[in-house]
């Protein structure tokens, strides 16, 4: 060992396995409803409870959603595939095996364009979810003293979306996961709710010396249930592996858990290998044949996706990347925005209104754009009224917008009922401007000396006199005339 030890620089390599619960009405192999939050063990039947002598029947919608997702992620869709049994024993798995896909996943070789870099998607396969253990009781020393099991979740359809180990930073991992969630939501196949477990991430992390082309040994971190935890878990794992490698140790391949409280990952079990699961073709289901026609039919249903909007919006609407990010996050918001533009609103103004006051209202009322009462036509009309100078911005925000959003009343009606139209009659405003100037000789002197700041004061005073209805443009023009 030399005394001047040079520190090795490591590069992080990350691959993500994402489990997405599909938004089908019923489970993958039986007719039980898929319903988060139902009374425990009420959405169950002999099939999903794993009773002997029952047979699974494949839900066609699951296959359609898998194909849709595969197409959106640039995957090849296989012509033939099958299901396989993955055997393991755990109390949340009443059959003692999970029906999954092993060597013939329905989709493979896709990619996701994350900030201009292609992250490979190795495979997407269909499988059934397990039940849920609820650790109950309160033994303070040993955790819970008994566990309950809820089988409502067994048989909920899942897609497992496996990336290649192409991710090279924590930010890239987060951006990949966020974009993937957004795409699943655009496709309307999964609600992407990490907290409720409808989208779950397993993160594979390894380190290797910078410049090396050989992959290091990975650990797989489970139990990451928010984007924030994803970032923290990778940070913690990089730190842990760096310490091991720097002290001459070896990282072992294992499954680890991220603990929210300590912010550390802890060992859960040594990594199982595929042969541990004794995979074999599921004998109770026939292999699948997927026709080209069906694939083409599904292709037609794919909307423009967020990463494509991200490229198109600056060109078509001249928006900056921050605004775009907010608008495209949710498909309904993006499509609403586009509708308002098609109706003739100014793209920048419409974006400002949606991102600003409209979003603030929706947040405050815990709702979203399609559940509000305001149609794109109504917002476009409101913006046109402002553009034409019929009402000013402040009045539109304070007196009109909230009413449209909550009652769906047209702006025109509100303006008429409340008498909100801007005063654009110069004769009427002239008097008000003159009065305000006369009443404030000190400020007038300053304005005459070129202190433009006091102009706002005068405009404000005129607004006060006119219940906020004066046209600021005309008031400014009149002030100029008086100063001449
Ligand atoms: P398993 O089910 O055994 O975890 P999978 O093939 O389903 O295996 O998933 C492996 C995941 O681990 C993939 O997302 C892949 O990109 C990632 N991965 C594989 N090797 C490494 C590595 N050396 N470092 C980081 N991630 C890796
Ligand atoms: Mg895995
Ligand atoms: Zn069932």
- Report pLDDT digits (tens) over 410-441: 988 888 888 777 777 788 888 888 888 999 99
User: Measured from the CA of 166, which atom of ligand 1 is nearest?
Assistant: 16
pLDDT digits (tens, 9 = 90+) for 23-79: 999 999 999 999 888 999 999 999 999 999 999 999 999 999 999 999 999 999 999
Ligand 3 centroid, distance to 30 Cα (angstroms): 5
Query: What is the 8-class DSSP label of residue 275?
Result: G
Ligand in nearest proximity to the CA of 59: 3
Domain covering 426-483 in this structure, CATH number: 1.10.10.410
Average pLDDT over residues 142-165: 92
Task: Give residue 121's pLDDT.
Answer: 98
Task: Give residue 467's pLDDT.
Answer: 83
Say if residue 287's pLDDT is above 70.
Answer: yes
List CB-based neighbours of ion ligand 2 within 5 Å: 17
Query: Tokens 């907290």 — which residue?
Result: 195
Dihedral angle sign, alpha carbons of residues 120, 176, 71, 69: positive
Task: Give residue 2's pLDDT.
Answer: 47
Using CB distances shorter than 6 Å, the residues near ligand 1 are 13-17, 162-165, 204-206, 215-216, 218, 220
Task: Give residue 254's pLDDT.
Answer: 93
Q: How many helices (H) and strands (E) does the chain have?
A: 17, 16
Helix (H) / strand (E) element for 314: namely helix 306-317
Domain locations in the chain as residue ranges: 15-168+182-210+273-298, 306-418, 426-483
Pocket test for ligand 1, best of 12, 13, 14, 15 (most atoms within 8 A of CB): 15
Ligand in nearest proximity to the CA of 152: 3
**Considering only CA atoms, which residue is closest to atom 2 of ligand 1?**
274
Average pLDDT over residues 301-326: 94
Ligand 1 centroid, distance to 218 Cα (angstroms): 8
**Considering only CA atoms, which residue is closest to atom 6 of ligand 1?**
162
Ligand in nearest proximity to the CA of 108: 1
pTM assigned to the model: 0.86
Ligand 1 centroid, distance to 34 Cα (angstroms): 29
Helix, strand, or coil here: 86? strand
Task: Give residue 138's pLDDT.
Answer: 66
User: Measured from the CA of 164, which atom of ligand 1 is nearest?
Assistant: 16
Task: Give residue 316's pLDDT.
Answer: 95
């Amino acid at each position: 060992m030399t005394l001047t030890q040079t520190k090795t620089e490591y590069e992080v390599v990350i691959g993500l396995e994402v489990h997405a619960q599909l938004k089908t009405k019923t489970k993958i192999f039986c007719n039980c409803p898929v319903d988060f939050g139902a009374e425990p063990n009420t959405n169950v039947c002999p099939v999903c409870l794993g009773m002997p002598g029952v047979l699974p029947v494949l839900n066609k919608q699951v296959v359609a959603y898998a194909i849709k997702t595969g197409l959106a992620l640039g995957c090849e869709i296989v012509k033939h595939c099958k299901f396989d049994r993955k055997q393991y024993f755990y109390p949340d798995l009443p059959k003692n095996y999970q029906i999954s896909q092993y060597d013939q996943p329905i989709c493979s070789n896709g990619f996701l364009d994350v900030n201009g870099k292609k992250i490979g998607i190795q495979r997407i396969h269909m499988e059934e979810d397990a039940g849920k253990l609820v650790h109950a009781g309160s033994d303070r020393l040993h955790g819970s003293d008994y566990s309950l099991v809820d089988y409502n979740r067994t048989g909920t359809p899942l897609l497992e979306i496996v990336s290649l180990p192409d991710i090279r930073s924590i930010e890239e991992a987060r951006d990949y996961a966020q974009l993937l969630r957004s795409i699943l939501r655009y496709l309307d196949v999964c609600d992407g709710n990490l907290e409720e477990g409808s989208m779950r991430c397993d993160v594979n992390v390894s380190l290797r010396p910078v410049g090396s082309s050989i992959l290091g040994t990975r650990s797989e971190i489970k139990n990451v249930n928010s984007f924030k935890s994803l970032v923290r878990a990778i940070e913690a794992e990089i730190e842990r592996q760096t310490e091991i490698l720097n002290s001459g140790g070896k990282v072992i391949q294992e499954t680890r858990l991220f603990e929210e409280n300590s912010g550390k990952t802890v060992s859960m079990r040594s990594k199982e290998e595929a042969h541990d699961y004794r995979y074999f073709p599921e004998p109770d289901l026939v292999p699948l044949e997927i026709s080209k026609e069906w694939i083409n039919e599904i292709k037609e249903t794919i909307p423009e996706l967020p990463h494509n909007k991200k490229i198109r919006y600056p060109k078509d609407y001249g928006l900056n990347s921050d605004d775009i990010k907010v608008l495209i996050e949710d498909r309904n918001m993006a499509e609403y925005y586009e509708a308002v533009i098609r109706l003739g609103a100014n793209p920048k103004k419409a974006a400002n209104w949606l991102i600003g006051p409209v979003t603030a209202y929706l947040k405050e009322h815990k709702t979203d754009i399609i559940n509000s009462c305001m149609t794109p036509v109504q917002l476009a009309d409101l913006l046109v009224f402002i553009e034409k100078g019929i009402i000013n911005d402040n009045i539109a925000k304070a007196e009109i917008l909230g009413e449209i959003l909550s009652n769906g009343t047209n702006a025109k009606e509100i303006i008429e009922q409340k008498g909100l139209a801007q005063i654009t009659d110069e004769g009427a405003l002239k008097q008000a401007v003159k009065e305000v100037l006369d009443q404030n000789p000190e400020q007038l002197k300053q304005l005459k000396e070129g202190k433009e700041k006091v102009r706002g004061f005068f405009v404000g005073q005129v607004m006060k006199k006119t219940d906020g209805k004066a046209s600021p443009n005309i008031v400014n023009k009149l002030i100029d005339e008086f100063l001449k």
